Chain A
Amino acid sequence: MIDKLLPATLRRLFLPLIACGLLLAPTAEVAAHAVVTESSLKHKPIEVNHETEVVLHFNSNVELGLSKVFLVSKGDIYHPLEIASGKKPGQVIIKVPALSEGDYAIKYKVFAADGHITEDVLRFKVSAQR
C-alpha cells in the first residue's frame, strides 16, 4: 500500500526514515504494566537482623519463572532474592535475609500475564525499634 501512496522519491526515503526513527528511540527504563498495589513493607516494617518475608500484591497475574527480585543495598549492590507465589492470585512472597540498620530497596523485574515486563523499585528503611 505504501508504494501506491507515496511518490517515488519518498518511497526511497521511507525505510531510512523508519530506521532513523527507531534510532531516535528513547533509552528509557522499562515502563509497563504489572504494578504493586499493596506491599507488606507498608504496615509491617522489617526488623533489624531478622529474616522476614515480604508480601507484594500485583495488579495482574505474574509469571514467576520469568521474574526476578533483588535486594539493593547502599552503594547499589544487588543481591538476588528467592520468590514464591502466595495463596491469592497476583501475590508474590519474597524471602528477605537478616538486615542491619540502613536504607535498602527491593528492585523487581516481573513478567505480567498480559506479556509486559515491568521493572520498579520499592525503597525502605530498616531501623532499630524504639
Chain B
Amino acid sequence: MYIQGLANFIDDFLGGLMLISYALVVGSVLWSFFILRVGTPAAAGDAVVTRSVKLLNIGAVSLAASVGTKLVIKGAVLAATLGELPLGPYANTVQFKAGLLRLILALGFIWVAKRLNQAPRDKRNWQIVALLTLPLVVSGAWLVHAVGRFEQRELLMITTVAHQLAAAVWFGCVAQLMVLWRTSRLNDEAKALWPLAITRFGLLGVSSVVLLLVTGLPLAWTYIGSWDGLFGTGYGSLVVTKVWLLLVALGFAFLNHRAGRLWRANAGDPTVTKKVPYYIEAETFILVGILFIAATLSSQPPSVDIPDRTAQVADVINMFKPRLPKIESPSHEALLAGEAGRVAVVDKVPSVAATEWSDYNHNVSGLFLTGMGLLAMLSYVRGLRWANYWPLGFVGLSLFLFFRSDAETWPLGPIGFWESTFGNGEVFQHRIATLLAFVLGVMELRARTHPEARKLQYVFPILCAFGGILLLTHAHAEFELKSEFLIQSTHTTMGLLAVIMAAGRWLELRLATNEGYVEGRFAGFIAISAMFLIGNFLMFYREPLY
C-alpha cells in the first residue's frame, strides 16, 4: 500500500517534470529561431548560441529521463495495483507507444545538441532541430485527457496540444532569458543582447499568452461546464488556482515588458538590468508551479463527468469560513476505536473522533502559522528586532507534530519509536516532515537574525516552493464523496499560497542589494502575508464528516 502510494506520487511528480522538460526543449527551439535568429546572417554570436543550446540539451536529457522513468513507474504502479503486470497489454497502450516515441525524440535532441555545440552556425543542424520539434509537439496529443474521450476527441486533442505549446514557449523562453542574463555577466555580446532579447521576447510572449487563453477557455468550458464544477470539484479548484498563478506570472511579464519599452525609449534605463533578471526568476517559480498544476489536472476526472459528486459553491465557502479553532482533542482511545469502521470497504462507518482529531491537528498548526505570520509582519516595522525570532514557531510546530501526527505510536500510542518509524511508511514520512519543520525553523532563524548567512536564506523559499508543489500535486485520496473535494480545495489553496510565498521571499532576497529597493520589501511582505493566510485557513479548517 505504501509503495503503491509512493509510486503514484512519483508518477504524478514525473508528469510535472515531463511538462517542464518538454517546455524547455520546445521553448528553447523557438528562442533560437526567433530571439537568437539562428540560421540568418543576423544570428547571435557562437558563445550565446552554445549557451542556449546547453539549456536545450538539459531539457532533452531530463525529458528522456522523466519519460523513461515514467514508463517504468507506470508499470510498477500497474503491478502494485493489479498484483501482476500484463506486459503485452501494457506495451500496447497508446500511452506506452506515445511515451516511447517521445523518448526516442528526446534522444534525437540530445544527439543534435552535441552537433550544435561543435557547429552552432551549421544550418543543417538547425533543420534537424526543427524536424524533431514537430513530432515532439504532435505526440503530446496522445498523452492527454482528450485521447480517452468519446465526444469531440480530435478537436480536444488539437486544442490541448496548442495550449501546451503556448505554455512551453512562455516557460522555455523565460528560462532562456535567465541563462542569457547569467551569460551576460561574462560575455559582452550577451550583455548587448540582453535588453534586445527582452524586447524581442515581448511579441513572442504576448502571442503565447493569447494562444493560452484562446485554447484554455474552450478546454475549461468543455471539461468544467458549470460554476459548481469550477468551485466544487478538485479539477475546478486546480483550474482556479492555475488562473491565479497565471495572473501573478502575467504581472511579472508586464513589468518586464514595460522595462523593455522604457529601455528602448531612453537607452540606459537601469530597470532592465537591475530588477528584470530577478522578476524573471520569480516568474520562473510561478510558471513551474503552473506546470505542476497542469500535470496534476490530467490525473483528475473532469468536473463534467462527476455532476453527482460536485460540491455546491456554498459548501466550499463554508470550508474557508472563519470560526473558532478547535483546541480540544478527542481522546486517544476514542480515535483508535473508530479506525476499523473508517477504513472498511463494506460497512464503512465515518469516525467522528478521526475527523475531530484531524481538525484539532490542522487548527493548532494553523495557530502556530498565524502567530508566526503576525510576528513576521511586525518584524518589518523598524525597531522591533525581536520579532525576527518568529521562525522559532516552526520548532514549536515540529514538537506538536511529533506528538500528534501518529496516534498509535510512541509517545502516545503502544507502538515503539524505532519500530514505528522504520516499520510503517506513513509514520516514517511524518517523522521526516516533523524533522524538516524543525530544521527549517532553526535554519530560517539563523538566516533572519544573521544577515551574513546569505546562502542559508535561500533554503526557506526553495522548501516553500517544494512544499507548495507537494500540496498541489497531492490530490487527497479516493474521491468517493464530494467531501474529498472540499478537503482538497483547502489544500490546493494553501499550495497556491505556498508558491506565492516562495516567489515573494526569493524576490525579496534578490532585490536586497545596496540600493535597497522598495519592491523587495514589498515582495517579502507579500510572502509573509501568504504564510499568515495559510495559517488562517488551517486555523478555520473543518473536515467534512464522511
Contacts and interface: CB of A to CB of B under 8 A. Distances in A.
A31 B146 CA distance: 18
A65 B89 contact: yes
Interface stretch (B6-14, B364-372, B493-501): B6-14
B95 A114 contact: yes
Contacts, number: 186
B305 A1 contact: no
A107 B462 CA distance: 40
Contact of A35 (B150, B305, B346, B463): B305
B90 A66 contact: yes
Please provide the 4 A-B residue pairs with the shortest distance between their CB atoms, ordered closest to farther: A65-B89, A60-B148, A113-B148, A115-B95
A33 interface: yes
Interface string B67-98: 00000001001100111001011101111000
Nearest to B51: A4
Given A4-B182, A60-B149, A116-B299, A66 B89 contact: yes
A65 B178 CA distance: 47
Contacts of B456: 9
Interface in A1-52: 1, 4-10, 13-14, 17-18, 20-35, 37
B302 interface: yes
Interface string B1-19: 1101110111001000000
Contacts of B299: 31-33, 116
A31 B477 contact: yes
Contact of A104 (B305, B346, B478, B480): B346
Contacts of A6: 458
A59 B458 CA distance: 44
B470 interface: yes
20 contacts: A1-B175, A20-B436, A23-B428, A23-B432, A25-B9, A25-B10, A26-B477, A28-B474, A30-B77, A30-B478, A31-B484, A32-B300, A33-B298, A35-B301, A66-B90, A68-B81, A73-B346, A111-B93, A114-B143, A120-B480
Given A21-B469, A34-B301, A59-B149, 20 more contacts: A1-B55, A7-B455, A21-B467, A23-B428, A23-B432, A29-B478, A31-B475, A31-B477, A37-B305, A60-B149, A63-B89, A66-B78, A66-B89, A67-B82, A76-B345, A90-B150, A111-B78, A113-B148, A114-B148, A121-B480
A76 B344 contact: yes
A119 B80 CA distance: 12
Contact of A115 (B58, B143, B178, B475): B143
Given A23-B432, A114-B145, A28 B81 contact: no
B408 interface: no
Secondary structure at the A interface, as helix, strand, loop or mixed, is: mixed
A112 interface: yes
Contacts of A74: 346-347
Interface of B: 1-2, 4-6, 8-10, 13, 55, 58, 74, 77-78, 81-83, 86, 88-90, 92-95, 143-150, 175, 178-179, 182, 234, 281, 298-302, 305-306, 344-348, 425-426, 428-429, 432-433, 436, 454-456, 458-459, 462-463, 466-467, 469-470, 474-480, 484
Contacts of B82: 66-68, 109
A59 to B, nearest CB: 4
A31 B5 CA distance: 10
Interface string A48-82: 00000000000111010111100011111000000
Contacts of B302: 59
A105 interface: yes
Contact of B5 (A26, A34, A61): A26
Contacts of B10: 22, 25
A27 B2 contact: yes
Interface string A99-130: 00001110101011111110111010000000
Given A22-B9, A76-B346, A13 B459 contact: yes
A76 B345 CA distance: 6
Interface of A: 1, 4-10, 13-14, 17-18, 20-35, 37, 59-61, 63, 65-68, 72-76, 89-90, 103-105, 107, 109, 111-117, 119-121, 123
Contact of B479 (A1, A31, A67): A31
Contacts of B2: 27
Nearest to A42: B308
Given A1-B55, A25-B5, A26-B5, A117 B346 contact: no
Given A27-B425, A114-B145, A10 B94 contact: no
A119 B479 CA distance: 9
Contacts of A66: 78, 82, 86, 89-90, 93
Given A32-B299, A33-B301, A35-B305, A112 B347 contact: no
A121 B462 contact: no
A6 B347 CA distance: 53
Residue of A21, A72, A75, A105 ringed by the most chain B CB atoms within 10 A: A21
Contact of B8 (A8, A28, A68, A107): A28
Given A30-B81, A66-B90, A10 B478 contact: no
B401 to A, nearest CB: 12
Contact of B94 (A20, A59, A113, A120): A113
A13 to B, nearest CB: 7
Given A10-B462, A21-B466, A59-B301, A28 B179 contact: no
Contact of B93 (A21, A29, A37, A115): A115
Contacts of B94: 113, 115
Contacts of B144: 114
A27 B474 contact: no
Contacts of A103: 346-347
A104 B348 CA distance: 11
A107 B480 CA distance: 11
